């Protein structure tokens, strides 16, 4: 997820290891290359322009550099966050991220540079390094076996496709993140980029990320 919303980092705060699924097909309309920001009382999208082919893997996506999208992003960030106390911290994070060239490098760095800034004790790995041929729930199971962990924590989007019983049969406990949905000063909802939150709270942002987890059977009762 590209410079994701705070809920994503509440998820990471709970976990010990993040596996980035870079060897799966890119989903058009996902948040892999875009994130919402708030400007002039409107929700807008900050996006990396890409060249996309059908069923193309995320790690193979190429950036469309026909426009100076980096300059455009910096202009947007300046217009929306420059008056905030920790604006310089945000610019440093973006500078470090945009110094990279490839799509996969930039999108991963948009996560890892924020992890570093917030001093989160979490390891980040790529699923492509495991070289799996499985898909869907079988892939999750293979990753969990590779990691050696017995606890799988995921976001809400997995509930409708994940085979919870398959994981349970293999002694893996599945939990869903219970997001705090914290809404910070100046925005109407919690779904905007964490960069805005950091521009206002700096490293204190870490303390404000207060998600929890719920077992999949309890989650399914909702």
pLDDT digits (tens, 9 = 90+) for 33-90: 999 999 988 999 999 999 988 889 999 999 999 999 999 999 999 999 999 999 999 9
Spatial CB neighbours of 154, under 8 Å, sequence gap ≥ 6:
162, 174, 175, 176, 177
pLDDT of residue 2: 96
CB 49 within 8 A of CB 2: no
Give residue-wise pLDDT tens across range 96-148: 999 999 999 999 999 999 999 999 999 999 999 999 989 999 999 999 999 99
pLDDT of residue 222: 64
Sheet of strand 151-154: strand arrangement: 151-154, 173-178, 212-215
In angstroms, the CA 124 to CA 218 distance is 28
**What pTM did the predictor assign?**
0.95
Confidence band, pLDDT 50/70/90 cuts, at residue 159: very high
Nearest to 47 by CA among 99, 109, 111, 106: 106
Pairing outcome for strands 123-126 and 17-20: parallel
pLDDT at 211 over 70: yes
Residue 175, SS3 per DSSP: strand
Q: What is the mean pLDDT of residues 199-219?
A: 97
Residue 89, SS3 per DSSP: helix
% of the chain surpassing 90 pLDDT:
92
Q: How high does pLDDT run on average in the chain? A: 95
Nearest to 174 by CA among 184, 162, 185, 183: 162
Give residue-wise pLDDT tens across range 162-190: 999 999 999 999 999 999 999 999 999 99
In angstroms, the CA 210 to CA 222 distance is 21
CB 84 within 8 A of CB 198: no
pLDDT of residue 28: 87
Neighbouring CB atoms inside 10 A of 134's CB total: 11
| Residue-range domain boundaries for the chain | 6-219
């Amino acid at each position: 997820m590209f410079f994701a919303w705070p809920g994503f980092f509440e998820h990471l705060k709970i976990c010990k290891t993040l596996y980035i699924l870079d060897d799966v097909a890119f989903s058009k309309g996902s948040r892999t290359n875009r994130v919402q920001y708030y400007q002039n009382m409107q929700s807008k999208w900050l996006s990396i322009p890409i060249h996309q082919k059908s069923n193309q893997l995320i790690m193979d996506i190429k950036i469309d550099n026909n426009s100076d999208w980096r300059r455009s992003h910096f202009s947007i960030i300046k217009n929306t966050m420059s008056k905030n106390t920790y604006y310089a911290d945000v610019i440093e994070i973006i500078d470090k991220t945009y110094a990279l060239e490839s799509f996969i490098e930039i999108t991963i760095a948009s996560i890892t540079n924020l992890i570093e800034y917030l001093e989160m004790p979490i390891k980040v790995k790529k699923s492509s390094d495991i070289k799996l041929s499985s898909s869907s729930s079988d892939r999750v199971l293979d990753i969990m076996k590779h990691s050696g962990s017995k606890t799988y924590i995921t976001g809400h989007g997995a509930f409708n496709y994940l085979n919870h019983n398959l994981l349970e049969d293999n002694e893996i406990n599945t939990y869903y993140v219970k997001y705090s949905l914290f809404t910070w000063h100046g925005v109407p909802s919690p779904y905007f980029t964490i960069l805005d939150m950091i521009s206002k709270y700096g490293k204190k942002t870490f303390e404000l990320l207060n998600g929890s987890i719920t077992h999949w059977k309890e989650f399914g009762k909702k």
